[in-house]
Amino acid sequence: MALIMFSLSQACRDIGQNWAGFAFNKYGAVMQAYHTDLVMFDKIMAVDQQALPRGPHRGLALRDYLRNLSPDTPVTYTIKRDSDDRVIEVTHPVRTMTRKDLLRLAGVGMFVGLGQLIMGALVFLLRPNTKRSWVFLAFCLAWFGLCFLLYDFHSSFIFHELFLFCWFMTSALMLHLAFVFPEERQIVRQKPWLQGLFYIPSFAMWLPQLLCTALFPSWMWTETISLFIVHVHTVYWFASLLAILISLKHTAMRAPSAVARYRAGTVFLGFAAGFIIPVGSESAAMLFHQNWGTDYLWLLTLFLPLSITYATLRYNLFDVGVIMRRSLTYGLLSALVLVSYLCFVWFANKVLHDLPMVQTRGFPVLFALAVLLVMNPLRERVQHLLDRSLFRSRYDFRHTIEELSRDLTSMLDLDEIANRLVHTVTQALGVSRVALFLDDDTDDCGCDKLRAYAVAGEDAEHLARLRPARHHPVMVLLAERPQGISRYDLEADPTLAQRVPEAIESFDHLGMSLALPIRFKGELIGAFALGEKASGAIFTEADLELLRTLTNQSAVALANARAYRSLEAKNTELRSALRKVELLENVKTHLSKFVPASVQRLIEQDPSAPALDKHEQDVSVLFLDIAGYTSISQALDQAKVNYLVERYFSSFLDDIYANQGDINETAGDGLMIIFQ
């Protein structure tokens, strides 16, 4: 900002001052000849037969000489033209700098430079954590310095070396962008250190030129060496532009994703339309020492920010929703703070001006602290208001997820949770198909597979039949990438596709374009698989952020529901086992009346499969009965007969059991006893 304000003030001071009618640098070399007989790099050796000092003070001396003359005074310049190595004299009148002249000399370059600066700042704010954004920001800053300081390079000579540094760096940054923008090249991912090599040629040309002019400013060969370096870098400058154009065209033709091709193609058109003509014309004029007015051609470079804007709106190169939300939020917030500040100043001057605290030096500090305390709550309130008013769909989706998160805390039915999650995502995002995969509890073969607990949308029956295993390519990637993965990630990052070659085909088989992991305590327990949006739009960063929040919150609910289901299954098994025990006790109690004790012992040893198979064995059989039982039963009543039989049998039981005998049969007064 300080550079901008200082350069603008210096330019405005030149209005009404005398100037030569053509532009020259601090070494007296013609840079823009305009409507004169001069050409680029003509060296002004003398003016009105007065020799000018050699070295970096020549341009300053010439400027001061011209400003001391009256307007329209003819001036004779002694020129040395390197193209044919001859000395000529050219006469031109002194001109007065008008606003129109200043607009042409300074306004165009400064306007273009500000456009490049704003574009770089916006891209960096949208993607502050990526290497591509840093490189693109440096590229825009270099072009800002080159365009914005061009007038100073021709007039004040204050930022002469900074201008040259920006010019040398533009070639290096264009070459660097060719390998990282809009998509990173595979060789850069594999060998990141190669990125430093892009800057070696530029530094190798800038440093000798700087050292020569700094250490040997008046040496006769300094200007010759500097001009040679400028010519070499001019070729390298244009070659770097061709490199980035070829890279963008290659991406536009060969990228596997249609979206990636369209993005690269749009940015390619911006670079081609914006830079080929001005850079090519300027390079040709510098190499062949021509007098071509190229000032207004630099306006074409604004095609680049226009192409990036179009790619953002049409192909979501950057999330336009984020741009709008952040711009509106901070714009409205700044307006509120400014209005509040003005109101407070008015209130303090009208009402509180007599209070001693207001007049102390510490009061502004306390006021600033108060502003900082209310800034964040105020920002949240403003964001909430804007979301409800202007970004309703995003607000509704977030509100729906918040309600679902609250409901999940009280839900224990796994099927209900799964169906609720799937239908919420389907309705809120307008997705063509959604499937929720979890570990298959019914898998008894040990294959460690997942199954679809809930599906919605197109091809629901096909999704419900899928059983992806843990070694499925998509699941392998989800285990490595907690943030999820999309089909576009695979197409944009070849290293992922190389590590898991079948991943793209697996996405096609699942019919999905986005997969998000469901993790519980760091372990992958399932996955959300989403198809394309019905509208054809791609998932924005805001969508992904809300989906990640949903999966993180639902992971706990799903894990609890599965634990609850497992506990219910165990309880059911336990109740079934208790029922069997009760039944066995009942059988044992009643069985003793009808089967031998040896059979009871076999059943007790193994209730589920007693050893009751037929087999041969030597045994002793004893028959006992009561003598005269018929006459006794006729003489006595039934109760006395039963009592007599029970006493009779019980007197033998202890001896029978002591000798491992089994009462095999009872018939009236008789016993059949088997000894094994």
Q: C-alpha 430: how far from its chain's center?
A: 21
Q: Is residue 16 classed as helix, strand or coil in its secondary structure?
A: coil
pLDDT in tens, 267-306: 888 888 889 999 999 899 888 888 877 778 888 888 888 8
Comparing 337 with 270, the larger pLDDT belongs to 270
pLDDT tier for residue 376 given thresholds of 50, 70 and 90: low
- Asked, for residue 246, whether it belongs to a domain, the answer is yes
* Residues 344, 304 share a domain: no
pLDDT in tens, 423-481: 878 877 778 888 888 887 665 555 578 888 888 887 778 778 888 888 888 888 888 88
pLDDT tier for residue 206 given thresholds of 50, 70 and 90: very high
* Residues 473, 379 share a domain: no
Q: Is 27 exposed, middle or buried (0-12, 13-18, 19+ CB in 10 A)?
A: buried
Q: Interhelix angle for 258-288 vs 303-315, to 10°?
A: 180
- The whole-number average pLDDT for the span 173-188 is 82
* Residues 521, 411 share a domain: yes
CA quadruple 182, 188, 192, 195: dihedral sign: negative
pLDDT tier for residue 613 given thresholds of 50, 70 and 90: low
Q: Does residue 83 register a pLDDT over 70?
A: no
Do 302 and 114 contact (CB within 8 A), yes or no?
no
Q: Measure the CA–CA gap between 507 and 514, rounded to whole angstroms.
A: 8
HSE-CB of 264 using CA atoms within 13 angstroms: 27
Q: Which residue has the tokens 């001006």?
A: 353
Looking at 149-199, list the stretches that DSSP marks H as alpha helix, in order from N- to C-terminal side: 150-154, 160-180, 186-190
Q: Measure the CA–CA gap between 642 and 303, rounded to whole angstroms.
A: 119
Residues 6+ apart with CB under 8 A from 635: none
Comparing 147 with 307, the larger pLDDT belongs to 147
- Name the most confidently modeled range: 208-212, 511-515, 581-585: 208-212
* Residues 180, 265 share a domain: yes
Beta bridge partners of 50: 47
* Residues 250, 347 share a domain: no
Q: Which residue from 429, 451, 432 is spatially nearest to 440, judged by alpha carbons?
A: 451
Beta bridge partners of 636: none
pLDDT tier for residue 240 given thresholds of 50, 70 and 90: very high
- Asked, for residue 586, whether it belongs to a domain, the answer is no
Q: Which of 100-109, 133-142, 212-221, 258-267 has the lowest mean pLDDT?
A: 258-267
What is residue 203's predicted lDDT score, i.e. its pLDDT?
Answer: 93
Do 516 and 551 contact (CB within 8 A), yes or no?
yes
Tell me, what DSSP letter sits at residue 105? I
Question: Residue 250 sits in a domain of what CATH number?
Answer: 1.20.1070
Question: Residue 489 sits in a domain of what CATH number?
Answer: 3.30.450.40
Q: Does residue 236 register a pLDDT over 90?
A: yes
Pull the structure tokens for residue 38: 């001069």
What is residue 390's predicted lDDT score, i.e. its pLDDT?
Answer: 44
pLDDT in tens, 521-569: 888 888 888 887 776 666 776 677 778 878 887 888 888 888 888 888 8
- The whole-number average pLDDT for the span 239-245 is 92
- The whole-number average pLDDT for the span 130-137 is 82
- Name the most confidently modeled range: 4-18, 324-338, 449-463: 4-18
What is residue 442's predicted lDDT score, i.e. its pLDDT?
Answer: 63
pLDDT tier for residue 601 given thresholds of 50, 70 and 90: low
* Residues 146, 236 share a domain: yes
* Residues 68, 49 share a domain: yes
What mean pLDDT is reported for the chain? 78
- Name the most confidently modeled range: 398-407, 496-505, 573-582: 573-582
Total number of domains constituting the chain:
5
What is residue 494's predicted lDDT score, i.e. its pLDDT?
Answer: 58
- Asked, for residue 513, whether it belongs to a domain, the answer is yes
pLDDT tier for residue 46 given thresholds of 50, 70 and 90: very high
- Asked, for residue 584, whether it belongs to a domain, the answer is no
What is residue 172's predicted lDDT score, i.e. its pLDDT?
Answer: 94
- Asked, for residue 283, whether it belongs to a domain, the answer is yes
pLDDT tier for residue 338 given thresholds of 50, 70 and 90: low
Domain boundary among 268, 290, 318: 318
Q: Does residue 591 register a pLDDT over 60?
A: no
- Asked, for residue 572, whether it belongs to a domain, the answer is no
Q: Does residue 386 register a pLDDT over 60?
A: no
Comparing 100 with 400, the larger pLDDT belongs to 100
Domain span at residue 629 reads 618-675
What is residue 76's predicted lDDT score, i.e. its pLDDT?
Answer: 92
Q: Does residue 360 register a pLDDT over 70?
A: no
Residues 6+ apart with CB under 8 A from 625: 668, 669, 670, 671
* Residues 386, 506 share a domain: no
- The whole-number average pLDDT for the span 343-355 is 62
- Asked, for residue 577, whether it belongs to a domain, the answer is no
CA-to-CA separations, 593 to 65, 588, 599, 641, 666, in angstroms, rounded: 137, 9, 12, 20, 11
Q: Which of 286-290, 455-459, 608-612, 628-632 has the lowest mean pLDDT?
A: 608-612
Q: Interhelix angle for 503-510 vs 473-480, to 10°?
A: 110
Comparing 185 with 201, the larger pLDDT belongs to 201
Q: Which of 147-151, 198-202, 469-473 has the lowest mean pLDDT?
A: 469-473
pLDDT in tens, 488-509: 777 656 566 666 667 777 777 7
Q: Does residue 234 register a pLDDT over 90?
A: yes
* Residues 521, 430 share a domain: yes
* Residues 326, 311 share a domain: no
Q: Does residue 320 register a pLDDT over 50?
A: no
Q: Does residue 99 register a pLDDT over 50?
A: yes
Tell me, what DSSP letter sits at residue 451? E
* Residues 167, 68 share a domain: no
* Residues 421, 358 share a domain: no
Comparing 122 with 402, the larger pLDDT belongs to 122
Q: Does residue 402 register a pLDDT over 90?
A: no
Q: Does residue 315 register a pLDDT over 60?
A: no
Domain boundary among 318, 345, 378: 318
Domain boundary among 51, 66, 96: 96
Q: Which of 47-61, 159-173, 419-433 has the lowest mean pLDDT?
A: 419-433
Amino acid residing at 348 = A
Question: Residue 69 sits in a domain of what CATH number?
Answer: 2.30.42.10
Q: Measure the CA–CA gap between 428 and 539, rounded to whole angstroms.
A: 13
Q: Which residue has the tokens 């009942």?
A: 586
Tell me, what DSSP letter sits at residue 26? T
What is residue 606's predicted lDDT score, i.e. its pLDDT?
Answer: 64
Q: Does residue 351 register a pLDDT over 70?
A: no
Do 36 and 22 contact (CB within 8 A), yes or no?
yes
Do 670 and 623 contact (CB within 8 A), yes or no?
yes
What is residue 588's predicted lDDT score, i.e. its pLDDT?
Answer: 59
Share of the chain above pLDDT 90, in %: 12
Q: Measure the CA–CA gap between 663 and 654, rounded to whole angstroms.
A: 12
Residues 394, 548, 563: CA angle, nearest 5 degrees: 125
Pull the structure tokens for residue 667: 């018939």
What is residue 392's predicted lDDT score, i.e. its pLDDT?
Answer: 45
Q: Is residue 53 classed as helix, strand or coil in its secondary structure?
A: coil
- Asked, for residue 594, whether it belongs to a domain, the answer is no
